[in-house]
Structure 1
Amino acid sequence: MTLTARSLLIPTALGVSLLLGACASTTPAEEDTAVQEGSAAQADLVSVSDSWVKAAAADDGMTAAFGVLANEGGADAVIVAASAEEVSDMVELHEVVSGDDGTMVMREKDDGFSVPAGSEHELSPGADHIMIMGLARDLEPGAEVTVTLEFEDGSTHEFTAPVKDFEGANENYDGDHGDSDDGHGDH
């Protein structure tokens, strides 16, 4: 190789290397996006097992979904809302607490359900549950209901729960839900 060819080759190789390096670099905003995309969404960390929905007639007006929420992640996950579009357009996260008179009452849980990192949160009759109100159709044993959970980071997780007969968990509503005229009596 001649001296002239070598002197042209070195700057060309250096220029190509700088150009490729500039193409590969990212801005801080692009790095933030990559970190966010690489981070697991809360919905990806939580699974639902032993899920089921209490059988109910549409005339009953409501039912509830139960199960075990397990968080395999390293940070808490918080469920802030739920939906069951095929059977209702009104779904709330509920808890059961002792009322002023000592009876157990259910009420909407404004801060949602927290599923601790590496742990579980149980949804069960007489405790935290997903309340499905304004039923659009009867829910017979053996049918299935699809429920979508929404997490505080905006991610969602869908699960399908079988409908089962269950006698119990007939708590009263606290506050505005207690009016028998609104169709939201016992569940």
Structure 2
Amino acid sequence: MFRRVLTLLLAALLTLSACGDGSGDAQGEAAGLAVADAWVKATDMKMSAAFAVLSNSGDEDVTIVGVTTGLTDRAEIHETADGAMRPVESVTIPAGDSIRLEPGGDHLMLMDLKAPIQPGEEVELTLELGDGSTFDITATAKDFAGGAEDYEGGKGH
């Protein structure tokens, strides 16, 4: 009898522990998200960009709808198409797949920087996801000349 009650009690506890509160924190879209090779372009100008490989091991697509950082009050998701950079509303990481945020492609644009970004500096970014949850990234600043990108003056925007 005791064994049967204990088994039922454990089953009930496991069932209850699987129930979330719907807050979207670690149980939301961010649950399957992972980041690799996160970096930001070091600069003494007013604009820069952040890059990374974002992987989604979950069963549902993850949609990034925004980005915030203490470096600026103005950060956007951008794409590069037809030789021009432009803001986009979102970027989606398909279930079981990954995307690369990279120079010349999709990236996180950081505008009106409050201070220069020094090589080696650790930059905190927060991705805002479509379900209301967030995902924090730490990116290391590094020198990068790239394809002679010029973020000043809004060129290519």
How does the TM-score come out when normalised to structure 1? 0.67
Larger RCO of the pair (alpha carbons < 8 Å, separation 6+): 2
Q: Distance in 2 between matches of 1:169 and 1:51?
A: 19
Q: Tell whether the 8 Å contact from 1:170 to 1:186 is kept in structure 2 after alignment.
A: no
Query: Does structure 1 residue 80 correspond to structure 2 residue 50?
Result: no
Q: Per the alignment, in what secondary structure is the counterpart of residue 127 of structure 1?
A: coil
| Bigger fraction of residues in strand | 2
Code of the aligned partner of 1:68: V
Structure having the higher Rg: 1
Picking from 79, 84, 89, the partner of 1:95 is 79
Give the aligned partner of residue 47 of structure 1. Answer: 34
Q: Tell whether the 8 Å contact from 2:85 to 2:156 is kept in structure 1 after alignment.
A: no
Give the aligned partner of residue 125 of structure 2. Answer: 147
Code of the aligned partner of 1:78: T
Picking from 108, 124, 128, the partner of 2:87 is 108
Q: Distance in 2 between matches of 1:184 and 1:72?
A: 36
Picking from 35, 46, 62, the partner of 1:61 is 46
> CA offsets, 1:100-123, max 9 Å, x none?
xxxx0000012x110000110110
> CA offsets, 1:58-94, max 9 Å, x none?
xx21000000000010010000000112x11100000
Q: What is the total number of aligned residue pairs between the two structures?
A: 139
Q: Per the alignment, in what secondary structure is the counterpart of residue 166 of structure 1?
A: coil
Q: Distance in 2 between matches of 1:79 and 1:38?
A: 17
Classify 1:84/1:42 alpha carbon distance in 2 versus 1 (closer, same or farther; 3 Å): same
Q: Distance in 2 between matches of 1:169 and 1:150?
A: 29
How far did 1:127 drift?
0.1
- Structure 2, unmatched stretches of 5+, are 1-11
Query: Does structure 1 residue 184 correspond to structure 2 residue 154?
Result: yes
How far did 1:185 drift?
3.6
Q: Distance in 2 between matches of 1:45 and 1:169?
A: 33
Classify 1:172/1:109 alpha carbon distance in 2 versus 1 (closer, same or farther; 3 Å): farther
Code of the aligned partner of 1:94: H
Percent sequence identity is: 41
How does the TM-score come out when normalised to structure 2? 0.80
- Structure 1, unmatched stretches of 5+, are 1-23, 25-30, 99-103, 174-179
RMSD: 2.6
Q: Tell whether the 8 Å contact from 2:69 to 2:124 is kept in structure 1 after alignment.
A: yes
| Bigger fraction of residues in helix | 1
